[in-house]
Amino acid sequence: MSKHDVMVEARSIVLSHEGECFSDVLNSGSQVEVLIEGLIYALGYESVSRLHVNNEVNYQAKLGSVGGVVLVFNMKSKSFHGDLRGSIESTFDLVMAVETELDKALMYPKELRENIIEDVVSRVGVSVDRYKTILKNWKFT
């Protein structure tokens, strides 16, 4: 599946689970592997691939000339390990906010829109730079 196709499908998955938390979406079984791949792309990785090993999915990603396994998802326990373990849930929370709260805020005056963005960034626990990276990579179309 191309990056574009993954991102379109990941966005569709997020929209179909509007208002749900990350753990609920993981437990739903709704194409979780594609969603996770899309979230890794949203973090700015240029290429992502999946390798199934027993009950785990190894996500290999490349950023510039550096690549390797960045995340492992245990499909049975619905748990993660790897370098992106701490980032993947906050990325989901942010893209959920982008698709719901922040999408609606586009029509608000600039100051109000900036306040809403600050509130979301603070609540999700990401830096403004991480927010900009995820927004740029998530809203690619």
Q: Parse the chain into domains and list their residue ranges.
A: 3-45+85-138
Residue percentage of the chain with pLDDT more than 70: 98
What pLDDT is stored for residue 25 in this prediction?
93
Interacting residues of 20 by C-beta distance below 8 A, sequence separation 6+: 28
What pLDDT is stored for residue 140 in this prediction?
64
Residue percentage of the chain with pLDDT more than 90: 82
- CA separation for the pair 57, 82 (Å, rounded): 11
Residues 7-52: tens digit of each pLDDT = 999 999 999 999 899 999 999 876 899 999 999 999 999 999 999 9
Contact 56, 91 (CB under 8 A): no
Residues 100-118: tens digit of each pLDDT = 888 888 889 999 999 999 9
Average pLDDT over residues 118-124: 95
- CA separation for the pair 18, 89 (Å, rounded): 15
- CA separation for the pair 4, 48 (Å, rounded): 12
